[in-house]
Amino acid sequence: MKQRTLKHRSLLGTTPGDLLFSEPGAALIVFAILALLPVFFSGYMIYILPQYMLFGVLAMSLGLLWGFAGLVSFGQAGFFALGAYTMGLSMKSGGGIIDPAYLGLLLSLVVGGILAAAVGYFLFSAGVRGTYFVLVTLALSIMLEQIAVSQSQITGGWNGMFIDRMSLNLGPFGKISLFDDAPMYYVILPAVAIIYVILYTITVTRFGKILNGIRENEDRLISLGFNASLYKTGVFAISGAVACFAGALYGTHANFVAPSLAGVLFSTEVVVWVAIGGRGSLLGVLLGGILVASFSNYLSAITPEYWQLVLGLLFVAVLLYFRGGVAGAVAQLVNARRAK
């Protein structure tokens, strides 16, 4: 029986159990569950869950950087807020030839990608690494927050900017209103799934393997003839574009954006989500963003004074006992099960 099992594994490459416990298999289950939730639930849960899913996308943008390239960025919140403001300005402009919703989403990708590419090019070509990169990205978030405050005639300053919910223009089929929660849910969920698939595909390509090489030993990779700064600029541009795109969807869903969305506190929360979820797994990071953000919201409601302390203690506990985050701990359990 044991020999037959080995033969089955060698012929098909993987067993059904392996597929189930692989990240793509687990992701398929997670997205299927998320797709079914509005069938059984309604009200506040269906309203708020898309926001948490977008927080998960924001966490994935950092997970790609940190988990696969070894680059810790405190600037993801800045890109997120930039995307929300881009969507708000686009919706206010009316869009012209292009539908303002589509224009806002497209511009968020372009603006986030170009800004991250420009910043990354100057930083990485100058040899900036480690702590210095962290400090620069933190300064970037602070700068974007201050710009949002100072340009109050455009952004609304500390009062923030109200953003209309987008509607989808389907050409001859007319427009679909996303004012209700369920239609918006079923627009954001496929977007999250597509982004996950794209980012996961990147990690298993040659590009992703080179990023792993940079994370493990950048100097050795350079000695082999690879332009590490170019690859780091590329992954930072992708990360910035994804974070900005998530922010654009967040802005139109929440109907509001304020400068604090780009602040240091929110930037730190993103790092906590990724660390707890497990930076080595995009699915773990996505779930970390969803679950930890919802847990933070619950804590802030029952203990407004100490919820940040509780979250900080959870972060420290994960770093001490689960270096790979929750996803890493689950992977160890699965590997131990397979070894038996």
C-alpha triplet 182, 82, 142: angle, nearest 5°: 130
User: Is the pLDDT confidence value at 329 over 60?
Assistant: yes
Percent of the chain having pLDDT more than 90?
68
- Amino acid at site 148: A
Least confident of 12-26, 128-142, 286-300: 12-26
Where do runs of H (alpha helix) occur along the chain?
A: 2-12, 16-21, 23-40, 44-69, 76-93, 100-125, 130-150, 152-155, 181-204, 206-223, 228-254, 264-277, 282-302, 307-321, 325-339
Asked if the structure places residue 80 within a domain, the reply is yes
Please tell me the predicted confidence (pLDDT) of residue 161.
95
| Poorest-pLDDT segment among 8-22, 41-55, 176-190 | 8-22
Rounded CA-CA distance 299/204 in Å is 37
| Whether residue 153 has pLDDT greater than 90 | yes
Contact by Cβ (8 Å): 230, 123: no
Structure-token pair, residue 114: 């170009």
Range of the structural domain that residue 219 is part of: 49-263
3-state helix, strand, coil in the chain (%, to 5): 80, 5, 15
> Does residue 95 register a pLDDT over 70?
no
The model's pTM is 0.91
Q: How many Cα neighbours within 13 Å face the side chain of 303?
A: 9
Condensed to tens digits (0 to 9), the pLDDT of residues 109-130 reads 999 999 999 999 999 999 998 8
pLDDT value at position 39?
92
Query: Does residue 68 surpass a pLDDT of 50?
Result: yes
φ/ψ region of 187 (left if φ > 0, alpha if ψ in -120 to 50, else beta) reads alpha
Q: Indicate whether 334 pLDDT > 80.
A: no
Quick check: 163 and 88 in contact, CB under 8 A? yes
| % of residues, the chain, pLDDT over 70 | 90
* Residue 95 forms part of a structural domain: yes
What's the pLDDT band for 9 if we cut at 50, 70, 90? very low
Task: State pLDDT tens for residues 222-275.
Answer: 999 999 999 999 999 999 999 999 999 999 999 999 999 999 889 999 999 999
* Total domains, the chain: 1
136, burial (CB in 10 Å: exposed 0-12, middle 13-18, buried 19+)? middle
Q: Is the pLDDT of residue 1 over 80?
A: no
Is the pLDDT reported for residue 211 higher than 70? yes
55: in domain: yes
Q: Is the pLDDT reported for residue 13 higher than 50? A: no
Of 311 and 113, the structure prediction assigns the larger pLDDT to 113
DSSP string, 41-103: --THHHHHHHHHHHHHHHHHHHHHHHHHH----S-HHHHHHHHHHHHHHHHHH--TTS-HHHH
Residue 71 clears pLDDT 60, i.e. is over it = yes
